[in-house]
Structure 1
Amino acid sequence: MATDRRKLLKMGGMAAAAALAGCVGVEEQGTPTSGSSGGSGGSGDSGGSGATQTTEPAVDPGTATTWYARSSAEGETLKGVIEEFNSQSRHTVEGSDLSDLEQKTQSAIPANQGPQIFEWAHDWVGDYYQRGFLSDQSGNLSVSMDTFTDAAAEAAQFDGAVVGLPFAAETVTLLYNEEYVDSPPESVSEMVDVMEEHHNPSNGTYGLGYPLNAYFMSGFAQAFGGYYFDPEADEMLGIANEETVEGFEYILDTFVPYMPNDTQYGPQAAAFSEGNAPFAINGPWYLGTAREKGVDVGVTSLPTADGSEPSPYTGIQLWYFAKGMGSSEADATAAREFVEWYVTNEEQLLANAESHGFIPVHEELAGDDDLPSSVQGFSQAVQQGVPMPTHPRMGDVWGPLETGFGKALNGNMSVNDAMVEAEETIRSNWE
């Protein structure tokens, strides 16, 4: 047990105290708790980590259910992490990897059949909170929001409520096969030269693997001054703006000719991971998959497009606190202790950075020069980008945008007409 205690002490601060009390089980008479540490007021208003601990009656061992949707490599890692927690804790976490996480959470949580916690990027925060799917845990946490970068702390909060804890940033950026690419391109024109050399569909080789969904396309769609959605703008919707349309046309004209015909995620991802393309545009979740296939992966920021800087959407990965946190005090305690342990365990966060390209948002690790080169590449891409809006109306943008782009991709409509139609659909849904 001493070894486990030393390992947990690496987490440091309030989180370590909570984890030791809850996980190792030596505090049979009480669990260290703190007052509201980071509830309202954003990332800088939690008062630091100097909360006063009090002793309260011990909560019975609980069982927390968590849902997530990960790539195969990331999923295997998380299973191991959950096993490690369970081996140290008086509590138990049961995890399920779901391919249809959004549908399952939206149907199960309102029926009180959902998990205590689930993992996803921060773009669901506003919508899920307003629909009553999330639980404000600001008064129950032993981790200060000052533990995280400002952007990460803000992403986990809505209307003063702390609805989750962050552990990584993410975005899509340019990946390259170091067997085929000597040095990463700084411009798309340099990238095209390499794609031209390798693109030969008759032999099953391509220039690029690039899934054409709205999130993946955001970098180049927003490269020329356009935007998808801005709640602060006079016109919140921007997908039919001239600048955004130019970005979509750029994708169609510049990248699509060098890609597999099927633009869905699977075929595009396979082109690179099977060693049949020099480039991919993908995220850190894909890194482990490509490496497992033997690809020597380099990571760099998105190259400039005709002198313009791409602006991809960035996400913050959260462990969300679901409505199910209110079903049982013991189970809620188990869920909190797992999440607090996960997001503050620096050894584990660094291992995820090394294996899967997770970009740490823990203040002690973010921007560290010792992070793996792949993580530094993703970090540069995050600095290029803008956070996905958490506004509830953002959820209505993705589907019509992708439907409209699909019509332009298939030649059924011009990009401009397709995006005008998409905006009309979105506004109708808002009404």
Structure 2
Amino acid sequence: MTVNTGRFTTMTALLGLGALALTSCGSGDDSADAGSAESADTASTDAESTDTESTDAAEGEAGESGEAASGSLTIWADANRAEVLNEVAEDFETDTGIAVEIVQQDFEEIRDQFVSQVPTGEGPDIAVGAHDWLGVLVNNGVVAPVELGDTAEDFEQIAVDAWTYEGQTYGLPYSIENIALLRNTELAPEAPADFDEMIQMGEEAGTEYPFLVGLDPNESDPYHLYPFQTSFGAPVFGTAEDGSYDSSQLAMADAGGEEFASWLAEQGEAGVLNLNIDGDLAQESFNDGNSPFFLTGPWNVDGAQEAGIDVAVDPIPAAGDQDAQPFAGVQGFFLSAQSENVVAASNFLINYVGTAEVQTALYETGGRAPALTESFEQALREDEIVAGFGEVGTEAVPMPAIPEMGAVWDDWGSSQAAIIKGDGDPVDLWQTMSEDIASAID
């Protein structure tokens, strides 16, 4: 795999000027964080003046720089990403002389291992992860900002927004993931216009279930039901002026949330939402042709196609009078606050992982829409399944990465389950949930 380093000119100046600011992050000192932001702003301004320099000159400077051409990098990645990164690492070492070690890790364990090992100096320079880890990572002082500079414009906006926390971008995104509506085209030739029409079409199909979504008898599944909740104008949190989530505004506690709660109770009573059908059973039932519709993510498409289902990916039908907006999860690579080779690590991320060749390779391995716009648009042209999820993703909102989100899930899920089961007045149960969540956040 040959990687295009044509963007190196501007970023070499940016990274060199910003290196001191980056390495100061994670100290836990507010003044140091402020200094980092100021230094990064200065670096970005100064870097703009280098746009007219030749790429050859920049590469020559990189070759002469002892800091940029020495040392090594360690990267934590799961098995799927490691396969692609091994090829990229070979190109990087050939170009820079800097060795890169790819260490395979269980994706589910990376965040906690990173938090525990980075402060001891044992962690990697770079790790793969999900954007909603940011609240934990930033608050523990273990990640440093990644200065994307002008290259931020090359990525889908939602991808950059997701990796931005308190005004700083902390990762190089590579994929975007969200749920959508899978449709068995033999049972339902056309996409439904709204939720009620979907249920009507499902009933007319004569299958066992008009619609499927995997739930849990005790915890429901707020993630999968969130698009219906947002269609009632009930996002989990409000937003500040800069568009970031504001945990002081528990927006789902408002009237829209109460309307959604009443709707949940109605669907539970009608049997449309069934807490006894978990994700595995929902997948099996859809693959067996027992429903025309299945609310899920790209991870269940292959199984349906292997079962002989002609699958279409449709927008999620709104239950309320607003658009149904699912959560978007954006995966990427973040930088250790304790890295001893920040310039090289940033170079690897921006000028190698951030190229169309690598972003497309990561997409082909993982089956998730690329974060880089060039690769994203190519994937949409070539794959109608990716195009379907990508279309739904334009209405998606980033999963909240703020730490307060950790105080939401348990009460949110258990209250949804109680409402669907009919264990009390839905509005009263929702109000109690909202009060409990607000108290937990406080």
TM-score class normalised by the smaller sequence: 0.7 to 0.9
Percentage of matched positions with identical amino acids? 22
Cα distance in 1, alignment partners of residues 307 and 346 from structure 2: 34
Equivalent residues of 1:393, 1:430 under 8 A apart = yes
Equivalent residue letter for 1:387: P
Question: Alpha-carbon deviation of 1:269?
Answer: 3.7
User: What is the deviation of 1:188?
Assistant: 1.8
For residue 238 of structure 2, the aligned residue among 219, 230, 235 is 230
The answer (yes or no) to whether the contact 2:76–2:128 under 8 Å persists in 1 is no
For 1:315, the equivalent position in structure 2 comes to 329
C-alpha separation in 1, matches of 2:50 and 2:174: 18
Q: Output the CA distance in 2 between the equivalents of 1:192 and 1:340.
A: 48
Q: CA deviation at 1:218?
A: 1.3
Residue 394 of structure 1 pairs with residue 389 of structure 2: no
Amino acid at match of 1:183: E
Q: Distance in 1 between matches of 2:424 and 2:334?
A: 39
Q: How does 1:148-167 map to 2 (within 5 A)?
A: 148-167=155-174
RMSD: 4.0
Distance 1:350 1:88, change over 3 A: closer
Tell me the residue number matched to 1:117: 126
| Matched-pair contact (CA < 8 Å) for 1:288–1:356 | no
Which consecutive unaligned segments of at least 5 residues does structure 2 have? 23-36, 94-99, 241-245
1:159–1:193 distance in 2 versus 1, CA, 3 Å: closer
Distance 1:98 1:390, change over 3 A: closer
- What displacement does 1:144 show? 2.8
Q: Assess if the C-alpha contact under 8 Å between 1:221 and 1:245 holds in 2.
A: no
**C-alpha separation between the residues in 1 aligned to 2:141 and 2:347?**
19
Instruction: Tell me which of 3, 24, 27 is aligned to 1:8.
Output: 3
Q: Quick check: 1:148–1:363 contact (8 Å CA) kept in 2?
A: yes
1:129 to 126, 138, 149: 138
Q: Distance between the aligned counterparts of 2:301 and 2:333, measured in 1?
A: 21
Task: Give the aligned partner of residue 171 of structure 1.
Answer: 178
Measured in 2, the distance between the counterparts of 1:416 and 1:49 equals 59
Instruction: Say if 2:85 is the partner of 1:82.
Output: yes
**What are the residue-to-residue correspondences of 1:72-111 with 2, within 5 Å?**
76=80, 78-90=81-93, 91-100=100-109, 103-105=112-114, 107-109=116-118
Structure with greater helix share of residues:
2
**Contact 1:216–1:281 (8 Å) recurs in 2:** yes
Q: Which residue of 2 aligns with 1:219?
A: 227
- Give matches, 1:318-337, under 5 Å: 318-323=332-337, 326-329=338-341, 333=344, 337=348
Match status 1:280 vs 2:294 = yes
Aligned to 2:211: 207
Query: Residue 379 of structure 1 corresponds to which residue in structure 2?
Result: 390
Shift of 1:352: 5.4
Per the normalisation by structure 2, the TM-score is 0.73
- Partner deviation per Cα, 1:21-64 (whole Å, 9 max, x = no partner): xxxxxxxxx999655599757xx988499386333122234332
Aligned to 1:242: 255
Moved more, 308-317 or 252-261: 252-261
- 2:141 maps to a residue whose letter is G
In structure 2, distance between residues paired with 1:422 and 1:220? 18
Contact 1:172-1:283 at 8 Å conserved across structures: yes
Give the number of aligned pairs.
393
Letter of the aligned partner of 1:229 in structure 2? F
Q: 1:161 to 1:209 in 2, by over 3 A?
A: closer
Secondary structure of the residue aligned to 1:394 is helix
SS in 1 for 2:238: coil
Instruction: Give the aligned partner of residue 188 of structure 2.
Output: 181
Give the partner amino acid of 1:8: V
Question: Letter of the aligned partner of 1:131 in structure 2?
Answer: N
Letter in 2 for 1:171: N
Distance 1:376 1:340, change over 3 A: same
Who wins on radius of gyration, i.e. which is larger?
2
CA distance in structure 2 between the partners assigned to 1:116 and 1:89 by the alignment? 15
Deviation at 1:234, TM superposition (A): 10
Q: Please show how residues 401-416 of structure 1 align to structure 2 within 5 Å.
A: 401-416=412-427
Segments of 5+ residues of structure 1 without an aligned counterpart are: 19-29, 69-74
- Map residues 409-424 of structure 1 onto 2, 5 A cutoff: 409-424=420-435
Name the counterpart of 1:301. 315
